[in-house]
Amino acid sequence: MKVLRNRLSSAFLVLLGASFITFTLARVIPNDPALAYIGPKATAAEAAKLRITLGLDQPIPIQYVKYLFQTLQGNWGYSLSTKQSVLQEITSRLPATLELITFAMGFALLLGITLGVYAAKYRGRFQDSVIRILAIAGVSMPAFWLGLLLQMLFAGRLAWFPATGEFDIELKYDHPITKITGFPIFDSIITGNYHATLNGLHHMILPALTLSAYSFGLLSRMARANLLEVMSQDHVKVARAYGLSERLIFFKLALRNALPPIVTVTGMSSAYLITGTFFVEQVYNWPGIGSFAVNSLLSIDYPAIMGITLLAAIGYLLINFIVDIIQSKLDPRVWLQ
Amino acid sequence: MKFLFKDKLTSVASLILLLFVTLAIFGPWIAPFPKEGAGASHVDNSYIGPGWHHLLGTDELGRDLLSRIIYGARPALFIALAVVGFAAIIGTLLGLIAGYRGGWIDNVIMRVSELFLSFPSLLLSLVAVTFLGPGLVNALIALIISWWPWYARLIRVEASIVKSKPYVEISAAMGVPGRTIVLRHILRNVTTPLIVQIAADLGTVILAAGSLAFIGLGSQPPSADWGLMVAQGRNLIFDQWWISTFSGLAIFLAVLAFNILGDALRDHFDPRIARQ
């Protein structure tokens, strides 16, 4: 309990700090936010009036405290470009991004661990070096470039997958998805709208693969290294000497002990997944937070940017928290630290 | 320097890096169309596919893509060295102070660095460059803002380990001034982890700088910047595929070479980590 309380209070401090940094950065803006809001044609008097309504005329510490209270109350301000509530914009776009991240993580874990194990098995041989090159290519690949390449090859030349979007446009009329949780693919599954599910998955593959490349690279290297280390430990040697089957040794002894570092790396790569969505969503016109973030950055939409960074900090904390919980389940010593 | 050629992959990476360094230094003399590389447009030649005259084709303003990519090597390497260099200097200074002095200074420096690490570093750079205003120099500053904390934390840990070693404690007891201890004992002992970290970061910085430029927040046209060139070819990817493909390939190869060499360097200096 005490551990949990410490964690929560430090999480709160981190969020406070994150909000402080974004707020400070947003105050360095050279342009006048009020002008961005009403457009260049407005008169000076109109701008001055708006500055008062938006609270931009007050001293900065007061603005910050106000911002904090409003944020806690769920008032995240209004986007300058869409004029909608930032919180509303974010919550309506979050499901699309979360589904994308989930699939990307799934691909990365599946491919990363499988190939990592495979590389460990064929250590020092041809297969091992091919996988090593794939892994290092994965972490060196700009996501936006990989996205464009996959688009050109698999959507353009081969026409196996759609180039952009989350669903076909016609789907809205043919097989509309009933909104239950707001997560489109999940909703289509629970409502039995399999046409939409298949269509969604078809659209999901290229963006999710693009986003997964970096995590895949990290994971496969980590899985290989840890597996090799565990396999050389004494208890595994003894188990071998006793004549236990390789299969049993692998799943019961090796993989289980190699898991904690794999979970750590998964958490580490989450930072990349969060910013990776910016580029992947941009390339694939994905209607999620990432494309909203890029548009907000380009239009210096400061309430939206502050909302998005706060959300990213929360997401980052949450992922690290979940990683710690999984770690403690795998290795009870972790909680004591 | 033998480790730079210890196996096939590392040798290839060394050669790629050597190529990029050569291009960065001698680009204007190597590029087949130096004027176009520097930005002169030639509109009647736009969108020529890869061929004998233009090996990698031409872009929307009819500029030879190969020359543009060659010209892009200089800013790419410059930004990598500048960001990592400044981040390492700032981080090392703060890390040394924090690790050696301890106490409240240590606390303040570490809490501040934690703040900067509380969200994904690329996001911090993106937000910073947005508010600073797009451009190469601001992108540099934005990347340094999110990079120094890693160095500060690394050096602090190393410094506090070295500080408690008996020979350092004895020299302090003998009245050797703190500045001498920091420079002679501590700084020397942190150089290896510092070099390893710098090597590992160079590729990541090129990737991050390319990402900023791709979104439109880094270098601005007409500069020859790889990330910017990928963005310029983005909407043409199905027809004039060569623009984004080859510009992105340059980023990929540079990052790949730095990452492979970073690994080799780490194995060379610190076989302990390599075995893990």
The string of pLDDT tens digits covering residues B34-92 is: 888 787 788 787 777 788 888 888 888 878 888 899 999 999 999 999 999 999 999 99
The string of pLDDT tens digits covering residues B243-273 is: 899 999 999 999 999 999 988 888 888 665 5
Nearest chain B CA: its distance from A175 CA (Å):
30
pLDDT computed for residue A33 by the predictor: 64
Nearest chain B CA: its distance from A152 CA (Å):
6
pLDDT computed for residue B275 by the predictor: 45
The string of pLDDT tens digits covering residues A190-248 is: 888 888 888 888 889 999 999 999 999 999 988 888 888 888 888 888 888 888 887 78
Nearest chain B CA: its distance from A91 CA (Å):
19
- Which distant-in-sequence residues (6+ apart) come within 8 Å of A119 by Cβ? A127, A128, A131, A132, A220, A224
Query: Among the listed ranges A20-24, A283-287, B144-148, B252-256, which one has the minimum average pLDDT value?
Result: A20-24
Pairs across A and B, CB distance < 8 A: 134
Q: Give pTM, 2 decimals.
A: 0.90
- Rounded average pLDDT over B128-149: 90
Residue A79's pLDDT band, with cuts at 50, 70 and 90, is: confident
Cβ separation of B118 and A18 shorter than 8 Å? yes
Residues in chain A closer than 8 A to B130 (CB atoms): 297-298, 300, 305
Which candidate from A137, A141, A298 shows the least CB-CB separation from B216? Answer: A298
| B116: CATH | 1.10.3720.10
Residues in chain B closer than 8 A to A302 (CB atoms): 131
Residue range of the domain that includes B131:
2-273
Residues in chain B closer than 8 A to A22 (CB atoms): 127
Residue A1's pLDDT band, with cuts at 50, 70 and 90, is: low
Residues in chain B closer than 8 A to A141 (CB atoms): 252, 255
Number of independent structural domains in chain B: 1
pLDDT computed for residue B276 by the predictor: 40
pLDDT computed for residue A333 by the predictor: 64
Which candidate from B115, B245, B260 shows the least CB-CB separation from A21? Answer: B115
Nearest chain A CA: its distance from B184 CA (Å):
35
The string of pLDDT tens digits covering residues A15-71 is: 888 888 888 877 655 556 666 666 666 777 777 777 777 777 777 788 888 888 888
Residue B191 clears pLDDT 90, i.e. is over it:
no
The string of pLDDT tens digits covering residues B161-178 is: 888 888 888 888 888 887
Residue of B nearest to A159 (CA): B238
